[in-house]
A and B are shown apart, each in its own frame.
Chain A
């Protein structure tokens, strides 16, 4: 047996209205797309989705972490290991990256279910995230959105896995080479008819026959499509009821989030599922993956969980298309004559990894007070080497003081220098992200988020920032 124990989502704070892209390039598109902040990438978004799924769950019980993406920050070096560190998972966790296909998300889901079923793991967290680029002016640029999804797979859960099907189909419909920044595709009608529609209809047909069931038996269908038009076309072809059966694929609110898209729609389906619902998940990319689930009981939402619905609502608009271009570094822009970015050291990042990635501080076992960053001699009672590690990442806080630093180098000035007083009577000092500079106030509620601080020395320097509670 395997089951979905918990789900999580992450949709970045910023949205870009498609009319802003139209303003730059023409065309006609509606709605908006989710855009990762300049300090986010697939790894940081996956961390957020993972945190969302793990509220109320003992992280020591997680023994597998599968990360799915087509936009891994590193070509050589695992993303899952960074995510596992940021999520403060145990050292013995089995980490894997699933990459290179739009189906990577459901590939990871299938592998997680197989591992649990086979007994090699008790709990596997699947996190999928993508931050894909369409060339400026392309249809892809309009359609793609950034986002992440997470599913915790275990032996028992409120949503039982029932059956699955897969087939592989080699086709050059859309692709990106190692050396390319933007996704390419073949002529549109070929991509839609010979790629997407042909594969989905064949796979669904075969699977329904195998299982001796019909599409009408499913209350909720989470169906991947490249875009809204493709989604409508396949619904028409398969005679799916778009009014009652289909989970909203969020083209107008989020956009196509690549390898995480099918899972994000599944998470949305789970959030609105009722007892005894039957769920169908169909993903596409170099073939098809199909899954069915049975909702044993309506999944309980931890009160800290934001989920797809929470994240869709909590948003702010990027003021213009140019800012998006700047965030994604699609144009060289003047950054002021300042000193080159600070230096980094892989040695320090390694030595301080429990502080930097896991955001662990110390609690003095002599006087009981807590502080960050870890220091061998207690700030308060000066006891030496008497401490235990404590985790800060999930603590909430209040802004004790701040400034808006216009001189600091940033793709999105001003840098909000923040002193945050956290739950448990300790202090965090750092930058504030996902914020509106005009709405910074003393004592505003904040939480913490894992972000890219910079790219010094040719690698990504990750750390935590604070942000207004969404």
Chain B
């Protein structure tokens, strides 16, 4: 961060500082049309997730056998499935679980990736070993590793999905943190801190960790996008979260038997999923360009 920026931030306090952050955010969001669209969609998804059952017309698991396999109509906007369950209500309910899983998986990847990545970027020998292991982990294609982990854990479950997909994405986070730490530690202020006798641990926390914020936020956004796609794939294959929890991937799986008679069972959850993934990808692109243009080359 340039010095005049920091001085400026020290002068600005309280309300005026908040205003600067607010103005910056508005400027970032409105600068590109795609960012604006992405943020708006994410706000809607967040609202849906927060509001929960309150805004859905029917219960996600309410059976209504007389209304089964109905196409989109006035009382069921997106149609119904083979049990007469309302597709819209189920898709809305799936939004909450999707965002929750995406958040938990990104947090899991961060929790492992940040400390390990920092230490391996800071200590060469340790880094050499860790990066070899990271490379080996990344040799397993994402879905194969996640599937195998689900088999090892033994049964479908939300916690198991978080850990399985988290383990898949943690090595990628380690790699991003590692390469950023490598370049950060070459900075003069790190050298100065060392010359002043600051212990390594404090250098890591006070000088490196703070500056890792940008690459980590960007990577976490992409992790979010990829992980919700992967969770959907696991649910689609029937090895993700338990079938009684409505999820986009699970809905598409259930709809396969009725693919000709009732294509809407598959169509709409897929649109929800693609929209969510697209918004996170767009947000990730925009954040990357804004926070750390150099990152484009690493990732």
Whether A associates with B in a native complex is no
